[in-house]
Structures are given as structure tokens and as C-alpha cells.
């Protein structure tokens, strides 16, 4: 009976595109415990229901950086620009997107028809107003693209009191947080297979994505809470509630548990290393 219940839930529209490590915490936040992640995996595997049911691919682990440390939200941002296809071959819209490294929240974005240091500067100005950023509060990391190191952008960052963090030209840096974000974006089932019809449609799509990503997406890097929950500190109580639920479930049926419940302590500090190849440096900067 419980096996069938798990199968039925996993095949509901709400969960059909989600793996067990997403389904279990979502159910827990609703006060429902049907089984552990391993139980879900075992049952779904037995019924050949573990195949990816969306265009997403298995996530890849990112090596933990060392140089910058975020101990809370609005300390380290990372940003990048990605191309969005248009109906004209060789022409693109450009999505500017800024993420908070600690919470993974998208704190700002814009879509334009060109790459520009001035447009990037305008975006950061808007973010600082909306997030009430003080001088000296934020480090902004990016690669060495022209919009990132353009004079207008750098002058604006200086005026806002934001410290730029640029990858050195001689050192490879993959900007993993922004890369992972863009990968999630482009593998969403709703992402257009061919092109965006116009810039307005691309902006509507990105707006919907950001709303979903910040407020609904249980992020694997922050214990499967949403970026918005992490950004506001609500993840602490949510994870505590999950812990209580799992303890209660174990107390009811201890024979079903081979060990302790999983660690649901909130994720601590988050690290970023803009200068991976810097030699003989053991200093860690707290942003």
C-alpha cells in the first residue's frame, strides 16, 4: 500500500519532473512523510521510474573555492551574461543576471539587445537600491568580459562602494555559480526549443523563471530550500521542522531506519575563489 502511495505521489503533476531528493523535502514542508529518499529511489527504480522526466541533466559538483567567504546574504554577488536565441540566425538577446552566492537568489536581471558596460551598471544600481546595499558591503565577482570591466561599470561600482572581483586573464575561472544558474535556466522544460519571438517575450519568460527559481525551486546546494527562504533566513526553521518530522517518523517505525536521519543543519558559509591560481596565498577574505 505504501509502495503504491509513493508511486502515485511521484507521478502526480507536481512531482513528475522531480527526483526523490526534491520530492521528499517538499512533502516534508507540507507535514507529510511517506518514506526516505532512499526508499523513494528504491521503489521508483524497481518500477523503472527513475529516468529523467525533463530536459535537465544530472548536476555536476563544483570544487569548493577558498578565497572569498560569504557568511550571509548580500555579501558576495556573482554575475554574467548569456545569449538568448532570436528568430534571426546569428542575432541574440542578452540576459544580464546577478546571483547572491550565499542564498543562490537571483537579486537582479535584465534582457537587452546588446552587451554594454552601461547597461550592466544600471542593473547594479537598481539592485543596490532594492536590496538596500551599503558601501563596502558587497563583492561582485565576474569573468573578464568587456561589459564586466568596462569603464562605466567600474566607475559605477566605485560610486556604489562595491568591490569588483575579476578573474585574472592568465587564470581560468569558470564562475561556477552563474554557470550553474544559466544551465538550470536553459534546461527548464519551458525553455523555447528554437527562439524567442521578440525581446518582450524573452523578458516575460525570464521573469517567470526567476519567480519560480527564487520562490519554488528547492536548491540542492542549500539543503533543498528555496533561494528566497535562504535569503531571508527562513531556511533555519524550515530545516528544523523537517528534522522534527523525520525524528517522529523514525520513532514510529525505527525498523525502517538503518541509521541516523540525514543532516538537515542549514548550510554555513559559502566560498568563492576568483583567483584560483594565485600562488602562496593562504589568506581568506570574508565578504
Q: Parse the chain into domains and list their residue ranges.
A: 2-53+224-256, 68-215
pLDDT at residue 287, as a whole number: 33
pLDDT in tens, 251-276: 999 998 888 888 999 999 998 864 44
Maximum distance among all alpha carbons in the chain?
65
Cα–Cα nearest to 264, from 232, 241, 280: 241
Share of the chain above pLDDT 70, in %: 86
Paired with 94 in beta bridges are 83, 112
- 46/229 Cα distance (integer angstroms): 34
Residue 8, C-beta contacts closer than 8 angstroms, at least 6 positions apart: none
User: Can you say whether the dihedral through the CA atoms of 22, 25, 30, 32 is positive or negative?
Assistant: positive
Mean pLDDT of successive 10-residue segments in the chain (287 residues)?
84 84 88 88 84 52 60 96 93 97 98 96 98 96 86 95 77 73 94 95 98 97 97 97 94 89 91 52 34
Buried b or exposed e, range 8-29, using 16+ CB within 10 angstroms: ebbeeeebeebbbebbbbebbb
pLDDT at residue 155, as a whole number: 96
Element (H, E) at 111: strand 106-112
What is the CA angle 205-129-268, rounded to 5? 80
Could you tell me the pTM of the whole model? 0.80
Phi, psi of 3 (to 5 degrees): -60, -45
pLDDT at residue 202, as a whole number: 98
Residue 222, C-beta contacts closer than 8 angstroms, at least 6 positions apart: 103, 104, 230, 235, 266, 267
Q: At what angle do helices 176-186 and 199-215 cross, to 10 degrees?
A: 110
What mean pLDDT value characterizes the chain? Answer: 86
CATH architecture, domain defined by 68-215: 2-Layer Sandwich (3.30)
pLDDT in tens, 46-73: 888 876 544 455 555 544 434 789 999 9
- On whether the CB atoms of residues 81 and 145 are closer than 8 A, the answer is yes
pLDDT at residue 278, as a whole number: 42
Residue 280 is given by DSSP the state T
Amino acid at each position: 500500500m505504501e509502495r503504491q502511495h509513493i508511486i502515485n505521489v511521484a507521478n502526480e503533476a507536481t512531482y513528475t519532473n522531480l527526483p526523490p531528493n526534491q520530492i521528499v523535502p517538499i512533502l516534508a514542508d507540507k507535514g507529510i512523510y511517506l518514506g526516505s529518499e532512499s526508499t523513494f529511489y528504491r521503489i521508483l527504480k524497481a518500477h523503472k521510474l527513475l529516468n529523467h522526466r525533463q530536459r535537465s541533466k544530472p548536476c555536476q559538483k563544483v570544487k569548493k573555492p577558498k578565497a572569498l567567504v560569504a557568511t550571509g546574504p548580500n555579501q558576495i554577488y556573482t554575475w554574467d551574461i548569456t545569449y538568448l536565441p532570436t528568430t534571426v540566425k546569428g542575432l541574440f538577446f542578452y540576459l544580464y543576471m546577478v546571483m547572491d552566492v550565499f542564498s543562490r537568489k537571483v537579486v537582479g536581471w535584465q534582457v537587452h539587445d546588446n552587451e554594454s558596460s552601461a547597461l550592466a551598471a544600471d542593473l547594479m544600481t537598481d539592485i543596490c537600491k532594492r536590496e538596500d546595499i551599503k558601501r563596502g558591503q558587497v563583492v561582485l565577482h565576474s569573468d573578464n568580459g568587456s561589459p564586466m570591466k568596462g569603464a562605466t561599470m567600474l566607475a559605477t561600482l566605485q560610486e556604489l562602494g562595491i568591490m569588483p572581483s575579476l578573474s585574472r586573464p592568465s587564470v581560468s575561472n569558470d564562475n561556477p555559480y552563474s554557470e550553474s544558474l544559466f544551465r538550470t535556466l536553459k534546461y527548464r522544460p519551458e525553455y523555447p526549443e528554437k527562439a524567442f519571438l521578440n525581446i518582450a517575450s524573452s523578458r516575460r519568460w525570464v521573469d517567470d523563471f526567476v519567480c519560480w527559481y527564487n520562490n519554488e525551486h528547492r536548491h540542492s546546494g542549500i539543503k533543498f530550500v528555496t533561494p528566497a527562504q535562504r535569503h531571508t533566513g527562513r531556511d533555519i526553521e524550515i530545516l528544523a521542522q523537517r528534522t522534527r518530522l523525520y525524528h517522529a517518523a523514525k520513532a514510529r517505525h525505527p525498523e525502517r531506519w538503518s541509521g541516523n536521519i540525514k543532516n538537515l543543519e542549514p548550510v554555513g558559509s559559502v566560498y568563492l575563489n576568483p583567483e584560483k591560481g594565485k600562488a602562496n596565498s593562504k589568506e581568506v577574505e570574508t565578504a
